[in-house]
């Protein structure tokens, strides 16, 4: 990528089919300027989904409990993906799932209602982990200050804890939802069903004791964040899978199905978004997503547009309009929730953002961060 100057900002390379830029971590462009995510969506069109579902039925038969115990572990938040995962495992495949929930950093009434709907609708048992709030807040502040990646710790627990629970309960199947890296051309583009390597170790691996200490976290506090080793997974006979390998995972289609199952979206479209069905349970998460724009020049609007383009619900021209109009805005409600949760003042927050901003791509003008060059 060329080095930008004040007079000649970098002209990013964008996929000719969607609106992802070359700065998206792990994305690759071919000779036709089509990104790896769009090529993955092409390949999905030739998949025999009926045959894939039969593969999953066979796996479930091998993992089914013979004594009335839990057959699988399903990590849930109460969101749209959770509804579909539990629906498939319980109602389509007849499994007896144990749902594992890592409580959000901040809770919304709508998020709590959706989680309750999931339990009431499917009649499942839920094990909830409420992380030590002081420890989690220290991790959030540290990773914001050092990486502009405040949700790293919470994401780590979301990936690690369900695997720990599955091993402890002797369950042999852990069911994740969408392999987002494969679906949209991220860092790990393996297209198979196995999810263990990516799910447990894709967040830059396991920090050493020095890294935890730098965050002010004692070794006695890190248990929920530690992924089981590959050897532990093998010894337990735990199969960690992407449901999206067996089911045609269309983000908007998942939302529509979840809505039919009682899931409720937001009653407004937040500033900087074009959807109302993601990140409902925790406004703090939205800041983490917005920071992708600061560092890489794309965020949730581009993700949603990619999904719609992949299923012929949106033209690229319309996607370009939406990205140029909305991408990079941070809803004040989300920002205030993040500041209140962490205790970080707004001046310090803005200084961190300024320090990590990719100035080849974005600039702060007219009161907010924007792309230096509009998507074209």
Dmax over CA atoms of the chain, in Å, equals 70
Distance CA(133)–CA(350), nearest Å, equals 24
Among residues 76, 23, 37, 15, the alpha carbon closest in space to that of 181 is found at 37
Distance CA(263)–CA(242), nearest Å, equals 22
Out of 9-23, 33-47, 186-200, 354-368, least confident range: 186-200
The pLDDT of residue 171 is above 90: yes
Among residues 275, 285, 374, the alpha carbon closest in space to that of 337 is found at 285
230-287 confidence digits (pLDDT tens): 999 999 999 999 999 999 999 999 999 999 999 999 999 999 999 999 989 999 999 9
The pLDDT of residue 8 is above 50: no
What pLDDT is stored for residue 201 in this prediction?
Answer: 65
What pLDDT is stored for residue 327 in this prediction?
Answer: 97
Question: Rounded to 5 degrees, what angle do the CA atoms 238, 243, 247 make?
Answer: 145
Which segments of the chain are extended strands (E)? 72-76, 97-102, 125-129, 173-176, 239-242, 362-365, 368-371
| Mean predicted lDDT score pLDDT of the chain | 93
Is residue 345 within 8 A of residue 339, CB to CB? The reply is: yes
Q: Please report, rounded to a whole number, the percentage of residues in the chain having pLDDT higher than 70.
A: 94
Number of neighbouring beta carbons within 10 Å of residue 70: 21
Is residue 238 within 8 A of residue 231, CB to CB? The reply is: no
* Average pLDDT estimate for 178-190: 81
Segments making up each domain of the chain, as ranges: 49-246, 266-371
Q: What is the pTM of this model?
A: 0.93
CA 314 to chain centre: 22
The pLDDT of residue 210 is above 90: no
Distance separating the N- and C-terminal Cα atoms of the chain: 17
Distance CA(43)–CA(351), nearest Å, equals 43
Q: What secondary structure does DSSP assign to 189-245, as a single string? A: ---SSB-HHHHHHTTTS---HHHHHHTT--GGG-GGGPPPPHHHHHHHT-EEEEHHH
Phi then psi for residue 197, to 5 deg, are: -60, -50
- How many Cα atoms within 13 Å fall on the side-chain side of residue 368? 16
Burial class from Cβ neighbours inside 10 Å (0-12, 13-18, 19+) for residue 287 reads buried
Out of 8-17, 56-65, 100-109, 345-354, least confident range: 8-17
90-101 confidence digits (pLDDT tens): 999 999 999 999
In sequence order, the 6+-apart residues with CB closer than 8 A to the CB of 172 are 62, 63, 166, 236, 237, 238, 239
280-330 confidence digits (pLDDT tens): 999 999 999 999 999 999 999 999 999 999 999 999 999 999 999 999 999
The DSSP call for residue 14 is: B
Question: Rounded to 5 degrees, what angle do the CA atoms 73, 209, 166 make?
Answer: 10
Distance CA(247)–CA(170), nearest Å, equals 26
Distance CA(17)–CA(37), nearest Å, equals 10
Distance CA(39)–CA(242), nearest Å, equals 19
CA dist 62 → 89, 90, 213 (Å)? 14, 16, 43
Is residue 371 within 8 A of residue 297, CB to CB? The reply is: yes
What pLDDT is stored for residue 279 in this prediction?
Answer: 84
> What fold characterizes domain 49-246?
Rossmann fold (3.40.50)
């Amino acid at each position: 990528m060329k080095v930008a100057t004040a007079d000649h900002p970098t002209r990013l390379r964008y996929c000719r089919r969607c609106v992802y830029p070359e700065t998206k971590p792990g994305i690759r462009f071919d000779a036709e300027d089509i990104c790896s995510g769009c090529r993955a969506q092409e390949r999905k069109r030739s998949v025999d989904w009926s045959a894939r579902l039969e593969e999953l039925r066979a796996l479930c038969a091998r993992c089914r409990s013979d004594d009335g115990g839990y057959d699988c572990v399903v990590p849930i938040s109460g969101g749209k993906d959770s509804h579909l995962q539990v629906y498939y495992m319980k109602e389509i495949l007849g499994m007896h799932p144990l749902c594992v929930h890592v409580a959000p950093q901040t809770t919304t009434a709508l998020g709590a209602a959706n989680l309750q709907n999931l339990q009431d609708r499917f009649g499942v048992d839920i094990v909830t982990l409420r992380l030590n709030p002081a420890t989690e807040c220290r991790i959030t502040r540290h990773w914001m200050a050092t990486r502009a990646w405040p949700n790293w710790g919470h994401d780590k627990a979301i990936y690690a804890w369900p695997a720990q629970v599955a091993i402890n309960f002797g369950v042999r199947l852990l069911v994740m939802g969408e392999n987002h890296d494969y679906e949209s051309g991220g860092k790990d583009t393996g297209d198979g069903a196995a999810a263990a390597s990516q799910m447990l170790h894709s967040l830059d691996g396991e920090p050493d004791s020095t890294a935890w200490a730098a965050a002010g976290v004692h070794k006695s506090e890190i248990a929920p964040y530690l992924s089981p080793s590959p050897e532990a997974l093998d010894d337990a006979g735990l199969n960690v899978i992407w449901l999206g390998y067996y089911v045609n995972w269309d983000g908007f289609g998942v939302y529509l199905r979840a809505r039919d199952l009682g899931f409720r979206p937001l009653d407004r479209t937040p500033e900087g978004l074009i959807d109302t069905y993601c990140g409902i349970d925790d406004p703090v998460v939205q800041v983490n997503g917005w920071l992708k724009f600061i560092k890489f020049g794309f965020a949730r609007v581009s993700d949603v547009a990619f999904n719609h383009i992949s299923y012929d619900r949106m033209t690229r021209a319309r996607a370009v309009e939406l990205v140029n109009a909305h991408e990079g805005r941070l809803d004040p409600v989300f920002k205030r929730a993040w500041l209140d949760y962490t205790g970080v003042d707004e001046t310090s927050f803005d200084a961190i953002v300024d320090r990590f901003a990719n100035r080849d791509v974005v600039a702060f003008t007219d009161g907010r961060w924007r792309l230096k060059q509009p998507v074209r």
